[in-house]
């Protein structure tokens, strides 16, 4: 009898448990009865975020789009040259032995006719130059002209052109510090490598070239990147990668420099048309002078028979603007001058003797002794 009660009690417990579970399910998932033509109640699905609205994804896509746009214009430049090494034999006599040296750098197509811009040091002394297109096609090239002051050079691919698109030039003067930039090249023979960084600063000078107005970037640039493009997020050329800063062990420290595209464009046109670049000048020197602790950009010297002298510019004139662009120091003035070509005209607005404002038009002449 005792066992029957235990069994009945156990069965009763199971029934109550099942009933309780059914009631819980009924509360959790209510059944809505259909009454006449009343609409059926539906649960709204969970809204997933749209991938395209993700700012990180949009930024990533912009980088990838810029790279895809420019990559067909980026090339590898390979060089060969013979150098003679002096050796000494067992008897103490010296003799020369030829050694074939190979080099490699980067470049970018700037004209569909096959013109390529690169760094001068990439092809310096080369007796044979070969351009490797993005698809692996190898084509011989010849030097058209170079410029020592900026370490730039122009090559021409032999033949009727490459069929590859030319890179689009951007406005390097419009760059802002902090903007994202992309470097493309072939560091350590790794063709078509891409790195991303920022504009760390503009107008850098560290006295390795006669004229310097470098864009500083933290985009990784290494051996083999020289001559390759630095582009913005719209895929426009804003610089030619030129140099890196190294530590005592000759290792990169995340500081690289590029020649601004606006300057490169002026030099490119000269080298293609003439084979040399004629640097412009106005025949005056400028400098910042502090009067009553207020800095003024003044004309410091004017040379005779120069554009500045013929226009009537005098030492002591305070420079306010050049071509309606406000200038703060002599480097601002030189940047504007050097971004123009010989034969072009610049407008200088000056303040004379704190009494009157004058405007001069100066026809740019060739800088004596600075032709590339």
For each of the domains in the chain, give its residue range(s) and CATH number, in order of start.
70-157 (2.40.10.10), 168-274 (2.40.10.10), 280-366 (2.30.42.10)
Distance (Å, whole) CA 15 – CA 208? 92
Catalytic residue among 226, 261, 270, 372: 226
The pLDDT of residue 51: 52
The pLDDT of residue 3: 44
The pLDDT of residue 42: 53
Catalytic residue among 121, 192, 198, 340: 121
Tokens of 127: 């007796």
> 227 — phi, psi (to 5°)?
90, -10
Alpha helices in the chain (DSSP H): 2-28, 55-70, 120-123, 261-274, 307-311, 330-338
Mark whether 226 is an active-site residue: yes
Distance (Å, whole) CA 359 – CA 372? 32
Distance (Å, whole) CA 242 – CA 259? 7
Position 22 pLDDT exceeds 50: no
Position 20 pLDDT exceeds 50: no
What is the tens place of the pLDDT at every residue in 167-185?
999 999 999 999 999 999 9
Show Cβ contacts of residue 108 under 8 Å, excluding neighbours closer than 6 positions.
Answer: 70, 73, 74, 75, 116, 117, 118, 167, 227, 228, 229, 237, 240
What is the tens place of the pLDDT at every residue in 25-82?
444 333 333 434 444 545 455 555 555 568 889 999 999 999 999 999 999 999 998 8
Least confident of 119-123, 156-160, 318-322, 334-338: 156-160
Q: Is the pTM of this model over 0.85?
A: no
How large a percentage of the chain has pLDDT more than 90?
A: 62
Distance (Å, whole) CA 99 – CA 82? 6
Identify the burial level of 358 via C-beta atoms within 10 angstroms of its C-beta, where 0-12 means exposed, 13-18 middle and 19 or more buried.
middle
The pLDDT of residue 86: 82
Position 200 pLDDT exceeds 60: yes
Averaged pLDDT for residues 261-271: 95
**C-beta of residue 108 within 8 angstroms of C-beta of residue 237:** yes
What is the tens place of the pLDDT at every residue in 93-121?
787 777 778 889 999 999 999 999 999 99
Considering just the CA atoms, what is the radius of gyration of the chain in Å? 34
Catalytic residue among 146, 147, 151, 317: 151
The pLDDT of residue 210: 65
């Amino acid at each position: 009898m005792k066992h029957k009660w235990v069994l009945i009690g156990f069965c009763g417990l199971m029934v109550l448990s099942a009933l309780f579970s059914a009631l819980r399910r009924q509360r959790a998932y209510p059944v809505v009865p259909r009454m006449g033509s009343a609409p059926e109640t539906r649960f709204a699905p969970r809204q997933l975020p749209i991938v395209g609205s993700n700012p990180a994804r949009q930024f990533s896509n912009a980088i990838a789009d810029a790279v895809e746009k420019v990559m067909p214009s980026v090339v590898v430049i390979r060089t060969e040259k013979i150098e003679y090494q002096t050796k000494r034999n067992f008897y103490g006599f010296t003799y020369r032995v030829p050694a074939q040296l190979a080099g490699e750098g980067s470049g970018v197509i700037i004209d569909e006719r096959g013109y390529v811009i690169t760094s001068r040091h990439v092809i310096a002394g080369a007796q044979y130059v070969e351009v490797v297109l993005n698809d692996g096609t190898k084509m011989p090239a010849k030097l058209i002209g170079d410029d020592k002051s900026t370490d730039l050079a122009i090559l021409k691919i032999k033949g009727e052109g490459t069929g590859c698109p030319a890179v689009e030039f951007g406005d390097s003067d419009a760059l802002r510090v902090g903007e994202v930039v992309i470097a493309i090249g072939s560091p350590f023979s790794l063709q078509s490598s891409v790195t991303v960084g920022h504009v760390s600063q503009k107008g850098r000078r560290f006295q390795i070239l006669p004229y310097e107005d470098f864009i500083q970037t933290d985009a990784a640039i290494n051996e083999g990147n020289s001559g390759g493009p630095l582009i913005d997020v719209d895929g426009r050329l804003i610089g030619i990668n030129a140099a890196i800063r190294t530590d005592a062990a000759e290792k990169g420290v995340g500081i690289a420099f590029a020649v601004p595209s606006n300057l490169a464009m002026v030099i490119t046109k000269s080298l293609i048309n003439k084979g040399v670049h004629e640097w412009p000048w106005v025949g005056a020197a400028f400098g910042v002078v502090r009067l009553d602790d207020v800095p003024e950009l003044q004309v410091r010297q004017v040379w005779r028979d120069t554009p500045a002298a013929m226009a009537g510019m005098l030492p002591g004139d305070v420079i306010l603007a050049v071509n309606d662009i406000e200038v703060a120091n002599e480097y601002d003035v030189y940047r504007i001058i050097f971004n123009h070509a010989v034969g072009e005209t610049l407008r200088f607005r000056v303040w004379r003797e704190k009494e009157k404002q004058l405007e001069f038009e100066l026809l740019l002449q060739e800088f004596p002794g600075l032709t590339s």
